[in-house]
Amino acid sequence: MSVSVLEIERLNKSFQTPKSTVNALSGIDLKVQEGEFITVIGPSGCGKSTLLKIVAGLDLAYEGSVKLSDKEVTGPGIDKGFIFQEPRLFPWLTVEKNIAADLSLRNPDIRKRVDSLIELVRLQGFENAYPRELSGGMAQRVAIARALLRSPKVLLLDEPFGALDAFTRAHMQEVLLDIWQHNKTTMIFVTHDIDEAVFLANRIVILKPRPGSIRSIVPVTLPYPRKKATTSFQSLRLKVLSEFERIEDTEWVDRAGL
Ligand code: ADP
Ligand code: MG
């Protein structure tokens, strides 16, 4: 039987602004299985980052329940790796020291694990380079390796490849799938790119805005490695796209007051 690593139940989140209350998330229910690759997709402002921050324990002001391995999330921690759109490295540290961060490379176990992560994220030869010497894609791989060294129960990625050019982005998607297949880390990956969502996921969670809620969940059973040019890939892509069109229809109805 599969095991839920993350359980979100009846999650509501609102922001109080001086002028009004923003209903950012409403009635979110989601169970994520151990080792699953979830992508979360939806229009800008539909609550994707808010959802990820809540799972990360970076925002505790919500209603409902968020459990990681059966324990309520009470704050941030190394069991929840977080990758932002920009890599957030320490500019004064080399690649390997950025990955080790507060852990000592003189510890033989840490040394060994850092070396194998450097290989996994394909950065051999750059161990002693500084962040300013890296491309955007390489820097993002350092950030991913740093999170993985902490063996997180879940890796949360908020549009991590959004700032990269199309070729680098495609390469990074392949590297990330390699990592996932090797480490079996549970992934929750936010994107607004439909191709990326279909290419990576076991399940695609489609959010709709105002208030942010789950429009539908699309399972993707295509075998890996996936090819974006195949008919089966394209028909799934269309399926996701048609969900978005349904969102827009609903909004039109809302606007017309029907
Ligand atoms: P997404 O990541 O899908 O673009 P966000 O999660 O960033 O969306 O935002 C969801 C909604 O919540 C938006 O309407 C946004 O304006 C609002 N919001 C997010 N953060 C704050 C905040 N700190 N204060 C007030 N409103 C916020
Ligand atoms: Mg966002």
Global pTM value:
0.94
4: Cα separation from own chain's centroid: 17
**Contact (CB, 8 A) for 186 and 32:** yes
Which listed ligand is nearest to 159 at the C-alpha?
2
Residue 15, ligand 1, Cβ within 6 A = yes
Q: Are 118 and 95 in contact (CB under 8 A)?
A: yes
Smallest-distance ligand from the CA of 47: 1
Query: d(Cα 117, Cα 126) in Å, to the nearest integer?
Result: 12
> Atom 6 in ligand 1: which residue has the minimum CA distance?
47
Is ligand 1 within 6 A of the CB of residue 2? no
Residue 9's pLDDT is 98
For residue 16, the ligand 1 atom closest to its alpha carbon is 25
CA 143 vs CA 9, 60, 85, 250: distances in Å: 30, 24, 10, 39
Domain ranges of the chain: 1-78+186-258
The CA 74 to ligand 2 mean position distance, Å, reads 22
| pLDDT, tens digit only, all 258 positions of the chain | 578 999 999 999 999 999 999 999 999 999 999 999 999 999 999 999 999 999 999 999 999 999 999 999 999 999 999 999 999 999 999 999 999 999 999 999 999 999 999 999 999 999 999 999 999 999 999 999 999 999 999 999 999 999 999 999 999 999 999 999 999 999 999 999 999 999 999 999 999 998 999 999 999 999 999 999 999 999 999 999 998 887 766 655 555 544
- Residue 257: predicted pLDDT: 45
Three-class secondary structure of residue 61 per DSSP: coil
Specify the fold of 1-78+186-258: Rossmann fold (3.40.50)
Whether residue 50 has its Cβ less than 6 Å from ligand 1:
yes
Cα(149)–Cα(195) distance, rounded to whole angstroms? 29
249 alpha carbon to ligand 2 midpoint, in Å? 23
